[in-house]
Structure 1
């Protein structure tokens, strides 16, 4: 079961964060953090993200709101970049961050909006549904 959960977790992690991100994280893994990395893959990706109850877009928006509310800036930026793979749009993220302002505070949302603007400025334009660049 753990190996199956790990394989499922890696598959989901790659589908959300992208191969380049996961490959880099795996290349940076050392003996010091190998157990922690396995825990993340099995627990977060293999047990929670892989559940059928919510789609990736919804999970993505929840994680963005939580990371913004908790002030986890690196994770927030990573999950905003991952929206290209989860289906959450810039409009979705904007709405989530407005909710953060109301329920977690304006300073948390202000920081998150700054990070989102930086991430979106660095990303290439998202393809439109018809395959055209917007």
Structure 2
């Protein structure tokens, strides 16, 4: 990356804090000439602007993000952000409440699938902690 902006630096720091070093290192390692501009865009905009804002907490952002991703059917992203709750302070009960909102405002099938994803991710996280 040729010219790294302050927003990119802030975004990368926030991204690492929320998603974890291992996840971000893998994303960076997989960046190539084709995906570099996209990685810069999401690091600066999603992570450097939205997730780095101070008007709402990381916990609240986590809940909103998971609800929106579930409503839109972005299942891999739901799983990634459920994993990130270890770093955002959003509890399992917080995510349950967010997904109940999805059921009412975006549809039961979207929430049903997101509950399945979240349940599986929480089980994986528990196994990682135990093992």
CA contact (8 A) 1:77 1:116 kept: yes
CA distance in 1, matches of 2:10, 2:128: 27
What residue in structure 2 maps to residue 130 of structure 1? Answer: none
Change (3 A) 1:126 1:55: farther
TM-superposed CA distance for 1:124, in Å, is 2.9
- 1:46 equivalenced with 2:65 (yes/no): no
CA distance in 2, matches of 1:85, 1:124: 15
- 1:122 equivalenced with 2:92 (yes/no): no
- 1:72 equivalenced with 2:74 (yes/no): yes
TM (normalized to structure 1)?
0.91
What residue in structure 1 maps to residue 22 of structure 2? Answer: 20
Could you report, residue by residue, the CA deviation over 1:74-118 in whole angstroms, capped at 9, with x for unpaired residues?
Answer: 100000000000000001111111110011000000000010011
**Structure 2: runs of 5 or more not aligned:** none
RMSD: 1.8
TM-superposed CA distance for 1:57, in Å, is 0.3
CA distance in 1, matches of 2:40, 2:63: 24
Counting matched residue pairs gives 128
TM-superposed CA distance for 1:51, in Å, is 1.1
TM-superposed CA distance for 1:11, in Å, is 0.4
Q: Secondary structure at the match of 1:124?
A: helix
Q: Secondary structure at the match of 1:95?
A: helix
**Structure 1: runs of 5 or more not aligned:** 128-132
TM-superposed CA distance for 1:126, in Å, is 9.6
CA contact (8 A) 1:84 1:126 kept: no
Q: Secondary structure at the match of 1:112?
A: helix
Residue in structure 2 matching 1:102, options 89, 92, 104: 104
